[in-house]
Structure 1
């Protein structure tokens, strides 16, 4: 299968790319290059593929011609980034995503995998949430994904099959690490600074999935007949990997050490929900997550220790918002995240 993979140099993209290549797919990447030097360990060289070095906001149907699938990962991918400039968040995560889907449909691409999020549920509810629950996003990031899903779903027809993969909170080692994700961040600070500062109610639930398992879900969908997942949404995860914030903190404390503390969530989103993952288990039986949170915490701890993690470098290289601000300070990106110069 010939696949256009947007955001292939990001966190999930860097985990998915090797799986697609191993499966024999012909992959073309599309990425502006913001995180090219965010490899973990530093200096590692992930697989190279032919790349369209461009902003997803500039894609046209000509760029989509000749592909069997578009896997759209490129986005401003969390609440802090989304709040940096909300209008840019909507431009990239919503408007550009819809334009890309239209371009893919116009070019005759039959499969469109959209990377969505469980953040669209907002504060959630006391019970289990399935894919049919109403949305209540509380941040520009969550709302941008809701809007994109609705518009892209309306494009579906016999020749164009979108699917919406609502990722739970990712964690774990990938070729392009993210340090701003809950577990990745807490383990790093516990190890280097001796503190485990959790933002949110300790009783609030958080659904978690290892980045490698998220990548496996996308690969599994591509290997499943599109009639099965045509215009459907799936929670990417497994029911047993919903954890309370307090339990996450205690697990890290037991594994790494450190002093646990809790502060209110700054975005008013305690992620107080548990997501059911029965639909993906039923429709995509080849997807079976392999990681547990305990295993992931041990993996992170061992990897950070092996690389003698330095907190200053961790924050500068692996926190996405710090990276974006550095590119802006260096004149490589403007306030709308357009290039000042081309990133080679």
Structure 2
């Protein structure tokens, strides 16, 4: 039996290869991939813009995925065979101080992550450590479940932001992360849930997921100092600074987007005078994954409407070109092996 996979040999160069199905080692499971999402991090890997410390070429990308366990290695419960599942991407050591404190996304044992330094899910099959699995319900929608990785990142942001019922909340950015944030934050019963995005159609779409208002960046300037909690998801050059301006004095800001060098800094004078609590999120801990999977199982989180395009592995080049291209009609792009 054979399996196909996309291999990015170096920036801008990829090939579709056919080889043997991976054999799960001790403590591992073999998963047949159902769907894998493409995000900006994958585009950065393909374009060569990802920090060299966080990628290892040649690599099979794919860190957002879902699938079904088809085999287990030594020491793994055979009852997992046939289970629908997702899995954490970070290969945390589980032994360092940060892991022991529950901060598995900050593992100091050395960076390793599915799809960046380890073979990812742009393939028919994937072997992963069983300890990273988050099994799903037997009837789970695997197409939608492929978005549980970004949902886990948002769950980490929501956990960090500590939303309380009746608060005024803003989400900056109406991409995949922003739309998932609206869904999770709406479950906290905010008095107001505004979305800030320059794309009017995206803002209006956010209303369907629970937003009470959609603001352009210009309109948002009139709302400076209004919000108890601001969750930034865009990672644009100015959104860290502008998110802090939206928060009230004593408010909370969570930075979730991945910023590139050259982003505008946050004004320290404003920080000190406003007594803001500013936190950032890097990936998702095991507990945040559990939050996202639980919300998905309860129906509080429905990523399926965010999917706009699906491609087979043969059309990877076309699929990755859509991501980050600026077309407002492009939402989440999936590869379906």
TM superposition score normalised by structure 1: 0.33
Structure with greater helix percent:
1
Please say which structure displays the higher CA radius of gyration. 2
TM superposition score normalised by structure 2: 0.34
